[in-house]
């Protein structure tokens, strides 16, 4: 009976806190932003997503990886970081509130939505 209780509790926790189970990490102080000073993007992609002009600028890094800076309507809301240039990316940091702090860190397999503050 206890085993069934623990299994059901685990499933309930997974349903209530799916971000935790998917590996999302929250840092209230913000994750460090990649230093792109002096770098020139080798690729710039522009498309409209949910009414937002989304611009992805991709940079080679001195360490042999690459970083993508992601803007929506001219506002930076995310960075995708990859140390080895081989798929998948290592992680994505996201500024969910427009505070300038990139407090959410997602694994490469997780999807994200453009934050609401970008479209306002």
**pLDDT of the residue at 119:** 87
Mean pLDDT over 18-40 rounds to 82
CB-CB neighbours of 104 under 10 Å: 22
Mean pLDDT over 33-42 rounds to 94
Domain count, the chain: 1
Mean pLDDT over 4-25 rounds to 44
Tell me whether residue 7 is in a domain.
no
SS in 3 state form for 42-103? CEEEEEEECCEEEEEEEEECCCCCEEEEEEECCEEEEEEEECCCCCCCCEEEECCCCCCCCC
Tell me whether residue 68 is in a domain.
yes
Instruction: Pick the range with the lowest mean pLDDT from 12-16, 21-25, 70-74, 90-94.
Output: 12-16
60 pLDDT band, cuts 50/70/90, is very high
**Is 70 exceeded by the pLDDT of residue 19?**
no
Tell me whether residue 34 is in a domain.
yes
Whether the bond between 116 and the residue before it is cis, its omega within 30 degrees of 0, is no
Q: What are the CA-CA distances from residue 110 to residues 62, 73, 93 (Å)?
A: 27, 23, 11
Tell me whether residue 12 is in a domain.
no
- pTM of the entire predicted model: 0.78
Range of the domain at 110: 25-119
pLDDT tens track for 67-111: 999 999 999 999 999 998 788 889 999 999 999 999 999 987 678
DSSP letter at 31 equals: P
Tell me whether residue 50 is in a domain.
yes
Tell me whether residue 42 is in a domain.
yes
How far, in whole angstroms, is CA 42 from its chain's centroid?
20
d(Cα 68, Cα 83) in Å, to the nearest integer?
Answer: 12
**72 or 9, which is more confident?**
72
Tell me whether residue 9 is in a domain.
no
Tell me whether residue 5 is in a domain.
no
**pLDDT of the residue at 112:** 85
């Amino acid at each position: 009976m206890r085993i069934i209780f623990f299994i059901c509790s685990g499933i309930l926790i997974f349903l209530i806190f799916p971000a935790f189970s998917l590996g999302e990490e929250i840092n209230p102080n913000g994750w460090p932003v990649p230093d792109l000073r002096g770098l020139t993007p080798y690729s710039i992609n522009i498309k409209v997503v949910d009414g937002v002009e989304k611009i992805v600028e991709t940079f080679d890094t001195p360490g042999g990886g690459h970083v993508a800076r992601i803007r929506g309507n001219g506002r930076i809301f995310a960075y995708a970081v990859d140390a080895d240039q081989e798929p998948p990316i290592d992680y994505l940091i996201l500024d969910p509130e427009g505070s300038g702090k990139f407090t959410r860190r997602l694994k490469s397999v997780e999807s994200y939505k453009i934050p609401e503050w970008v479209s306002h």
